[in-house]
Structure 1
Amino acid sequence: MGGDHKRLKPGVLFIFITVCLDMVALGIAIPVLPHLIQGFVGTVSAAGWWSGLFNSLWGLTQFGCSPILGALSDRFGRRPIILLSNLGLALDYLIMAIAPNLWCLLIGRVLNGVTSSSITTAYAYISDISEPDERAQMYGYVGAAFGLGFVLGPTLGGLLGDIDLRLPFWVAGLLSLVNAIYGALVLPESLDKAHRKPFSLKDANPVASILFLWRAKSVMRMALISMVSNFAHHVIPATFVLYASYRLGWGQREVGLAMAYYAVWAIIVQGGLTGIVVRTIGEKATLVVGLLCGLLGFISYGYNTNWHIFLFSIPLMGFWGMTNAALQSLMTTRVKVDEQGLLQGALSSLMSLSGIIAPFVFGYILSVMTRPGVDRVWSGAAFFAAALTLLVALLMALGVKDRAKGEPAPPKAPNIHHDGEPLF
């Protein structure tokens, strides 16, 4: 593993904190961004279309930039990529806070997609410092940091949005700046120089990064499952705020509290239960159970007519969070130490590819189903489409080969020596 564990303890804490603060910043914006868009365009139907476009363009920038940043982290280390990402996010939120029109807001959102690489690199960081048998639990802890961020973020965003729709973006930018400063003080590097590899644009473009997954056939099926599952996830940022407003009459405050309730379950499941479940039934079974819970949760969301249904459906969605930890554990033990950044960049490219298409698809479904003359009961159609998507992922997961207990990770690649100037 990369580096001394005692030396890395502040770094481990920082990774959890940076994931949490990034999710707080993202969560702060979620309850208010669709309403800010609606303020520029007018109707819920129009806002649904534009929200989908915003998120699709965000996915497009992620698709192009994530493999480059993943490869750069394999070349120069995880620390500089994470710190630069946090600084970039601070700038992005500032642009969105002062945006005078829809197009400036869109520019801020696109730049956010370029710079929001810290999560991807954080996964590579965790892989650097953890043993194969620890990874499912470690990724569960990262998932708990996600959950904690979503407890604080949407709740804070809803409360701040009631004061002023722009205020949450100012706070999100400040949090990202504080995160960068804190990281500069405490974050050690996790990737030893002996395990770094030269940067090459040939390997860092999104197509080449996906071909890396094709060559690493042991992870390809799992990567596709992750992509399909992520496709379904995009229904939430693309439609949930507007759907809850249209179907239930909720404002920013109610949406923020609902997301916080979900996040509490995410913390319970990913921070406490994921490691236990994996040790008890194995990673494959955990993956299948998680996908099934997500599928049932989306069906429940689509039928939602009052807040009581959320008391049932949100815990189910919390158990869906086990899926990513199980997938990450299975995949990271099947690639070499010097390929972890490339793996995470390739996975991020697939996630971004789904993020290009999914928000527009779900946003368009919401737009059509909220037009005048369409019965309100059909407004949940986007969630039924997401449930169907997870059914595809569930069927794919049945063919995943489980990791044998104690199965070692692939051996470390030989030290890479590069003569002359860096390729980048």
Structure 2
Amino acid sequence: MSHPSITDTSGLDLAAIRKQFPILSEKVHDRPLVFLDSAASAQKPDAVINAMVHTMHHQYANIHRGLYWLSERATEAYEAVRDQVAGFLNAPSREEIVFTGNSTEAINLVAYSFGSLLTPGQAVVISEMEHHANLVPWQMLRDRMGIELRIAPITDAGDLDMDAFSQLLSDGKVALVAITHMSNVLGTITPARQIADMAHAAGALVLFDGSQAVVHHRTDVQALGADFYTFTGHKLYGPTGIGVLWARRALLEDMPPFMGGGDMISTVTFEKSTWANVPHKFEAGTPAIVEAIGLGAAIEWVEKFGFDAIAAHEQALTSYALQRLATVPGLNVVGHPKERGGVISFTMADVHPHDIATLLDRNGIAVRAGHHCAEPLMRRLGLTATARASFGIYTVQEEIDALADTLVRIREFFV
């Protein structure tokens, strides 16, 4: 595969974008790297790498505590990212942005802290397509607090069954709906505003797991009608170890702390501690300082391209991939949702997904294979595993061609 030098119909200069990702010039097994696993973790542009290195070279210190220049500069840089994230999500207030380690920690925070305010007899609704991160914490809450966990089914096409979802809300016992904004397996983009309106009409709050969604299109928590929203930095071309919980301030004020320790307190005696104001009440201990600054660099980098262009590029790429994969004998794309992001899971007759991924890797092509941290969804689909190709801003049609052509050769090898 030759490296592309094209500007696609979205107006993005893909060749210039790709040059900003050092890893894309690497070879795997003496083949050019074709990275099609961005849904698991996206690659990092120079802007993110350089911002983190600059911080460690020139202004690293612990934050919020030091009365010296380095600490003050690091604190300013860290807190500036909170403003960036608030703008990125169109949050009403910077104090509604809580930094976490990832989406998983953010959802666990809500399950533990908001969940502690629930009572037996109340219910939480999730869907059949949730990642384990938006399933296991609610099971733990159910076992701890005696709440009911209800599962909203999906259609055979991979969309949320809205009629069944409505029925789950009908008795007025649901306190929270926790739903993915975009499935990491099916690529399904859920009708978030409709979900929020239905939940609120039934007296429930709504949490969206935005781990996949924030990468592909503009996210406005106010327009969505969300009460909680989570995402993780490493899928948004930023570093690992940094995630975000956004929640309405009134909710954060009412919720007890998730963890205790330094920086989340106002006063401490041996008899009693009092808590810092939000969001710091939920940010115990030394945070991921360098990683937060890396997240800020990633947001700045992504926003300069515009989400309209990013979405147009990825929609065109996904459509092209579906067309190319349809030409591969024995290949079955899993799910056909009404609205799909840049994620395609598939199986191939007579070839196990793990073998697909291994043989693709021998040709320099990286895809994910397995249950994708969504075992209940796999059971719903009647599968044990799929292979998954997922796209980022740097993905080009030549890479889709390489995937499809190699899959044809793999199929011929097994038949």
Give me the TM-score of the superposition, normalised by structure 1.
0.29
Higher relative contact order (CA 8 A, sep 6+): 1
By percentage of residues, which structure has more strand?
2
More helix by share: 1
Q: TM-score, normalised by structure 2?
A: 0.29
